[in-house]
Amino acid sequence: MLNLNYTLLNFKKLKMYDLTQFSLRDMSECGLVLRQLGKDSHTTEDVSNRIIKYLYENLISKDIKEKSCVLIRMFQMISYKKLSSELQEYASKLLNNQSVTPNLKCLTLLSTAGEKPEWNLRQKSSGHKAIPLANKAAIAKIPMISRLIQQLGLDPGQVVETDLNLLADLEQKMYNVFYVADALGSPYIPGQKSFVIPFNIKSVIGFGGLLPSGNIFVVLMFLKVKVPRETIDLLKPLALSVKMALLPFDQGKIFSDYQEQAMSQSELKDKDRIIEQLQSKNATLNQLLDVSEKSTLIQSDRLEKAIAEQQKTLEKLQTTHGQLLHTEKMSSLGQMVASVAHEINNPINYIHGNITPAQEYVQDILELLDMYQQEFPHPTPEIKIKIAEIDLNFIKKDLNKIIRSMEIGTERIYEIIKSMRNFYRFEKAEFKQVDVHEAIDSTLMLLDNRMKATTFYPEIRVIKEYQELPLVDFYAGQLHQVLMNILSNAIDALDEYNKQRTPEEVRKNPSQIKVCTKILNKEWVVISIADNGLGMPEEVNKKLFDSFFTTKSSGKGTGLGLSISYQIIVEKHVGKLLCYSQPGKGAEFIIQIPIRQKISQLVL
């Protein structure tokens, strides 16, 4: 069981509630405190002050790190005859000193708290101390009051009703929330230029209900935050909690500084009896509610824990499913590419293998041709014409260049095929000592075409700064996968950045990817891949390695690449994968992997 006094003490002093993130638990905790604020109070004003002070101090905005309320007030309808002479005079002036009946209902300010000093004393209110509600037409002339009454579930005509029997049925049903989602420009919120705009009022919330006496009570909050619709529904029960705190004083003393008209002994006895009955009912109901609230809190904790665990399980399943699909696609693609590479490799080998003999044969023919020209320096006219027609001297000079370019081309094709076969061989999952530089170079070769200048994109330069590295224990295919993911993202980022730049800006600051390697503390190999692109804000950087998170447009990214890379480096190889980035300063990925792996540490 919860210790009630301890709970209340801690809630009052420590617990803060953010209305933009208000939860079921917050509603239960706040309601539990509000219902207890009437204890040891002597007047309606006393308990009102406690309620308003508690809400003003404990409703905060985590985003702006301030109190949510600019101004918060509690009003209650009170008969004119029960007002102090000062308030009666105030109400009469608002009615232009017309004749007033003793039972005239006045919406009276009981408590107030706010940012300005004068907003913390009801006596200093200039226009809301006691608002007379003479009739339905008079209420209609006050848009905020009229709207508030309607949203609380009442008809303005019922508010001025003096027959308690007619209101008895409504008393247990009438509680609700008054809500203006956007205060700026709202016809229901007065003082736009003097209050709403200067104090940056975003929204207005009120909650309240009907007391057994037939009087309305309402708490009005003028907020500097926008409150979601979900919070409004959770505030409805707080109206009941405030009502529970007010019930014992509904027909008792209202103001702390005003001695109300003395009653006869029989009236006092009847009054005491009514109050005693109300207090007894209130105490019993409070006990029932306390038990219910405690149970709700316990169940809420369990439910939140279960939901959190299920959410983690769901996210893990989604990630695993996505990775399985990704792996299956890569495996199928790898097998296909390996087959294609093998088929291309054979004819390329034939061509490359015959280039050297062909070059020798051509050289022999050219030498023989030279010998003929020396032995027969005066060819026939037909031969002279043919020599001039084919430009023999140019052919003799260019032929070796053509054969050399064919040799270079076949060598490049051979290297690309080799890189493809190395990169896409995931299905073997071979754990071995890997040459990091060879892995980087083969990945860059596969991406070389994306970094060349085209009609739409400028060239992306690659700068390599390699230190001598030992071989590293790693699953070779997975290292290629990590490098491909990071380098591809760097190219995407630079391409996107270049779309926003002019040719002159590109010329002054050419796009580049810098790849550096080094040894750290003789135990680690560090790979740095940095680009000079647009960079990322902190909120994006924080989610970079989350599954399914992507900043790319639909169809251009799955949000799995960096998540899988993180798992490969950090979880499978006990390394580190970090990203440092600021808007306008590019991004740098740091891959740190141990040179030697302990087999017991590896996650297969």
Distances, alpha carbon 329 to alpha carbons 332, 483, 557, in Å: 5, 18, 15
> Per residue in 465-498, pLDDT tens?
999 999 998 877 788 888 988 998 899 889 889 8
The pLDDT-based confidence of 361 (bands split at 50, 70, 90) is: confident
Q: What is the pLDDT of residues 247-299, one digit of tens each?
A: 888 877 888 766 555 445 555 556 665 665 566 566 556 654 665 566 577 66
Residues forming beta bridges with residue 600, ordered by sequence position: none
pLDDT of 116 reads 93
Query: Could you give the count of Cα atoms lying within 13 Å of 512 in the half-sphere of its Cβ?
Result: 12
Is residue 77 within 8 A of residue 87, CB to CB? The reply is no
Give residue-wise pLDDT tens across range 41-64. 889 999 999 999 999 999 998 887
Between 437 and 5, where is the model more confident?
Answer: 437
> Which uninterrupted H or E stretch holds 515?
strand 512-520
pLDDT higher than 80, residue 172: no
Question: Tell me, which fold does domain 428-604 have in CATH?
Answer: Heat Shock Protein 90 (3.30.565)
- Give pLDDT tens digits for 422-433: 655 544 556 788
pLDDT over 70 at 592, yes or no: yes
Tens digit of each residue's pLDDT (9 = 90 or more) over 433-470: 889 998 898 888 878 888 888 888 899 999 999 999 99
| Res 221: pLDDT | 94
Report how far residue 208's alpha carbon sits from residue 263's, in angstroms, rounded to the nearest whole number: 30
pLDDT of residue 167: 42
Which pLDDT does position 400 carry in this prediction? 81
Length of the chain in terms of residues written:
604
pLDDT for residue 15 is more than 80: no
What distance in Å separates the CA atoms of residue 418 and residue 428, rounded to the nearest whole number? 16
To the nearest whole number, what is the mean pLDDT of the chain? 80
Please report the pLDDT score of residue 437 as a whole number.
92
Instruction: Give the model's confidence band at 317: pLDDT under 50 very low, under 70 low, under 90 confident, else very high.
Output: confident
19-23, 223-227, 450-454, 541-545, range with greatest mean pLDDT: 223-227
4-253 in CATH: which number? 3.30.450.40
What is the average pLDDT across 386-399?
86
Contact 413, 344 (CB under 8 A): yes
The confidence band for 387, taking pLDDT boundaries of 50, 70 and 90, is confident
On the question of pLDDT at 135 being above 90, the answer is: no
Report how far residue 114's alpha carbon sits from residue 117's, in angstroms, rounded to the nearest whole number. Answer: 7
What is the pLDDT, as a whole number, of residue 168?
Answer: 40
What is the percent of the chain with per-residue pLDDT over 90, rounded to a whole number?
22
Contact, 167 vs 154, CB < 8 A?
A: no
Question: Across the chain, which distance is largest between two alpha carbons, in Å?
Answer: 152
For 227-291, the DSSP string reads --HHHHHHHHHHHHHHHHHHGGGTTS---TT--PPP--HHHHHHHHHHHHHHHHHHHHHHHHHHH
| Of 129, 249, 250, 227, residue with least CA distance to 177 | 227
Position 203 scores a pLDDT of 93
In three-state secondary structure terms, 533 is coil
Cβ(225)–Cβ(213) below 8 Å:
no
Residue 241 has pLDDT above 70, yes or no: yes
Q: Which residue has the higher pLDDT, 248 or 163?
A: 248
Q: Of the given ranges (304-318, 514-528, 578-592), which has the lowest mean pLDDT?
A: 304-318
Confidence band of 5 (pLDDT split at 50, 70, 90) = very low
Mean pLDDT of 164-179: 53
Contacts of 482 (CB under 8 A, 6+ apart): 565, 568, 569, 577, 591
Predicted structure pTM score: 0.49
Q: In the prediction, which pLDDT does 425 show?
A: 52
E-only strand ranges, 353-445: 431-434
